[in-house]
A and B are shown apart, each in its own frame.
Chain A
Amino acid sequence: MAKERKIGVAVDFSRGSNLALKWAIDNLIDKEDTLFFIHVKPSQVDESRDLLWSATGSPLIPLEELRDPDVVQKYEINLDAELLGMLATASSQKKVKVIAKIYWGDARDKICDAVAELNLDSLVMGSRGLGTIQRAFLGSVTNYVMVHATCPVTIVKDPCSHGF
Chain B
Amino acid sequence: MSGNLRCVIVAVDGSEESMKALRWALDNIKLRLPPPDAEAGSFIILHVQSPPSIATGLNPGAIPFGADLEVPAFAAAIEAHQRRITEAIFDHALKICSDKNVKVKTEVVIGDSKEKICEAVENLHADLLVMGSRAFGPIKRMFLGSVSNYCANHAQCPVMIVKDTA
Which of A122, A151, A162 has a CB less than 8 Å from the CB of B165? A151
B156 in the interface (beta carbon within 8 A)? yes
Identify which of residues 116-166 in chain B touch chain A, using a CB-to-CB cut-off of 8 Å.
127-128, 141-144, 152-154, 156-163, 165
Whether A154 lies near B160 (C-beta < 8 A) is yes
Q: Which of A5, A23, A31, A151 contacts B158 (CB 8 A)?
A: A23
Pairwise interchain contact B4-A26, C-beta atoms closer than 8 A: yes
Q: Does B38 contact A (CB under 8 A)?
A: no
Chain A residue contacts of B153, Cβ below 8 A? 137-138
- Does B4 lie within 8 Å of A155, measured CB to CB? no
Complexed CA–CA distance, A31 and B159 (Å): 23
| Residue in A28, A146, A147, A159 whose CB lies within 8 Å of B29 | A28
A153 x B161 contact (CB < 8 A): yes
By the criterion of a CB under 8 Å from any partner CB, how many residues of chain B are at the interface? 28
- A157 beta carbon closer than 8 Å to chain B: yes
Contacting pair B30 A1 (CB below 8 A): yes
How many residues of chain A get a CB closer than 8 Å to chain B's CBs? 28
- B62 adjacent to chain A (CB < 8 Å): no
Contact of B28 among A1, A137, A162, A164 (CB under 8 A): A1
Q: Is A59 an interface residue (CB 8 A)?
A: no
Cβ–Cβ < 8 Å partners of A2 in chain B: 27-28
From 1 to 22 in chain B, residues with beta carbon under 8 angstroms from any chain A beta carbon are 1, 3-5, 21
Known: A1-B28, A26-B4, A31-B1. Is A162-B156 also a contact (CB below 8 A)? yes
Is A73 an interface residue when CB atoms closer than 8 A count as contact? no
Is the CB–CB distance between A122 and B152 below 8 Å?
Answer: no
Question: Are A153 and B3 within 8 A (Cβ)?
Answer: no
Where the two chains meet, the residues of A that have a C-beta atom closer than 8 Å to any C-beta of B are 1-2, 5, 23, 26-28, 30-31, 121-122, 137-138, 146-157, 159, 162, 164
Interface residues of B (CB under 8 A from A): 1, 3-5, 21, 24, 27-30, 127-128, 141-144, 152-154, 156-163, 165
